Amino acid sequence: MKISLPYGNEMVGMEVPDQCFIGMIDPPEAQPAGDPERMILDAIEHPIGGPKLEDIVTPDKRIAVIVDDGSRPTPISTILPVLLDQLIRCGARRERIKIVIALGSHRYMTEDEMRERVGEEIYQTYPVVNSEFRDPEKLVYIGDTEEGAPLMATSSVMDADLRIGVGNLVPHPVMGWGGGGKIIFPGVAGEDTVSYFHLKASLYDENMFGLSTTPIRDMMEGWVKLIGLDFIINTILTPELKLCRVVAGDYVAAHREGVKIGKQVLGSKVTEKADVVIVSSHPADQDFWQSPKAMYGAEPALKGDRGGTMIMISPNYEGIGPHPEYPEYMARDDGDAIVRACIAGEAIPGDRLAIAVGNSMSKMRRRRKLVVVGDGVTGEQMSACGCKYYPLSALQQAIDDAVAEYEGCRVAAMSGGAEAFLYDEGESI
């Protein structure tokens, strides 16, 4: 059986023995919005679980419109003109509005990238700034975690009177789904606060990708109340990244309604479990910090709670990503002890975010055999992570080798694992 999967902006072909192939586990075709701007406006005018913009916007209020960064496919340049027009119509003053790029702990976006993200006209009209996560002079203390660790957020958001978050709803390894209050925590939080989220999540030995809520999301939403998120706009895109649906309103109520829609749009039914699943990282192709989301998305296609092989195809354009210590902790088996020491405030050397995410991925590595195919990372880097590696030119060999390991091997494939929601036959979504 000849199949093809995305590799960045290209398609790559491969063959799977006919007797082995279960089929493609991809969502059914979703209808994109015929009039995206009208759909966005309709969502804004009919918020879920909260007040309308006209009820919370006044001329004297300083407004921070917080948008996700370039690692996400959210159509920010389509949403912002509609949103900003509505804010002005409701009485907001243009000079009191700013746009903040929520980086979490991702690299700072360049001016050209920010211009492309928001659109040229908006970039020239409104201040557009990256959130801050490292410079203590640009962070504001919010409160403490239950262990006494300080919660910090960027001052560019904290000095606003009204906060509006714009993001996209897709499954997420820690939060279950993206969107909602995540635009605040960890979106505009300090690096240590971002790390704390991931440290706590890494102590769970389960795949939380696609859960309606998780303990970490529940914790986060409680923290968001400390500073306030007044309104959200969250999109649901088709697998082809076209706008499909939009929800707006309260950061919890609108989010949960959006998750229900997201499961329908991005959901794929698993009718038979596989020994081997071949998955593209599309659209999380930026680096090996983002692309393993595809592994979380694909894992439910495998048999049992342990065993099986995931072959991830990814260009990883920016290599291993922004946390070079990450492979070391992905390869370790003693990460829980290190993580608990970090949470307790012990002086553990190293990048805590790399420790946290590495610990989460180390558990997946111990559950499943991980194979990475692509030219953006090296065999040495993947070996350091505990993954088997093949260059793109050896993709077919990677598949042949994996199939040969299982008697009567069953193989499934996925075109975009990083934004997939898999559910079992008979499971209610």
Residue 253: CB partners within 8 Å, gap ≥ 6? Answer: 48, 49, 50
Q: E-assigned strands of 161-204?
A: 162-168, 171-172, 176-177
Owning domain of residue 23: 2-27+271-424
Instruction: Please tell me the predicted confidence (pLDDT) of residue 197.
Output: 83
Last residue of a domain, one of 239, 264, 289: 264
Q: Is residue 153 part of a domain?
A: yes
Q: Are residues 110 and 235 in the same domain?
A: yes
Domain for residue 429, yes or no?
no
Segment 26-79, tens digit of pLDDT? 998 889 999 999 999 999 999 999 999 999 999 999 999 999 998 888 999 999
CA distance 388 to 405: 14
Q: Over the stretch 343-389, which tens digit does the pLDDT of each residue have?
A: 988 889 989 989 999 999 999 999 999 999 999 999 999 999 999 99
Q: Are residue 241 and residue 321 in the same domain, yes or no?
A: no
- Is 213 a domain residue? yes
CATH number for the domain spanning 255: value is 3.40.50.11440
Lowest mean pLDDT among 163-167, 392-396, 419-423: 419-423
> What region, left, alpha or beta, does residue 92 occupy, with left being phi > 0 and alpha being psi -120 to 50 degrees?
beta
Question: Where a domain ends, among 227, 242, 264?
Answer: 264
Give the confidence band of 194 by pLDDT, cuts at 50, 70, 90.
confident
* 169 and 253 both lie in a single domain: yes
Do 64 and 10 belong together in one domain?
Answer: no
81-101: pLDDT as tens digits: 999 999 999 999 999 999 999
Residues 69 and 174 in one domain: yes
Distance, in Å, from the CA atom of 223 to the CA atom of 186, rounded to the nearest integer, reads 10
Q: With beta carbons less than 8 A apart as the criterion, state whether 49 and 29 touch.
A: no
User: What per-residue confidence (pLDDT) applies to 363?
Assistant: 97
- Torsion, Cα 180 131 295 6, to 10 degrees, reads 100
In a domain, 350, yes or no: yes
Task: Single out the residue in 221, 249, 264 at which a domain terminates.
Answer: 264
Same domain? For 194 and 124 the reply is yes
Q: Rg of the chain over CA atoms, in angstroms? A: 21
pLDDT for 428 equals: 67
Q: Is residue 403 part of a domain?
A: yes
Q: Clarify whether residues 95 and 235 are in a common domain.
A: yes
21 and 67 within one domain: no
State the alpha helices, DSSP H only, in 143-239: 155-158, 191-201, 215-227
Considering only CA atoms, which of 256, 184, 250, 248 is closest in space to residue 214? 256
pLDDT for position 192: 84
- Segments in 27-110 forming alpha helices (H): 36-45, 53-56, 76-89
Do residue 72 and residue 115 come from a single domain? yes
User: Percent of the chain, pLDDT > 90?
Assistant: 82
Judge whether 251 lies within some domain: yes
* SS3 label, residue 253: helix
102 and 16 together in one domain: no
Same domain, 48 and 159: yes
Number of domains composing the chain: 2
Amino acid in the structure at residue 218: D
Q: Is the pLDDT of residue 310 over 90?
A: yes
In-domain check, residue 371: yes
CATH number of the domain where residue 312 is located = 3.90.226.30
Query: Residues 67, 83: contact at Cβ < 8 Å?
Result: no
* In contact, 403 and 17? CB cutoff 8 Å: yes
Q: Which two tokens stand for residue 118?
A: 């928001």
Same domain, 212 and 229: yes
The verdict on residue 221 lying in a domain is yes
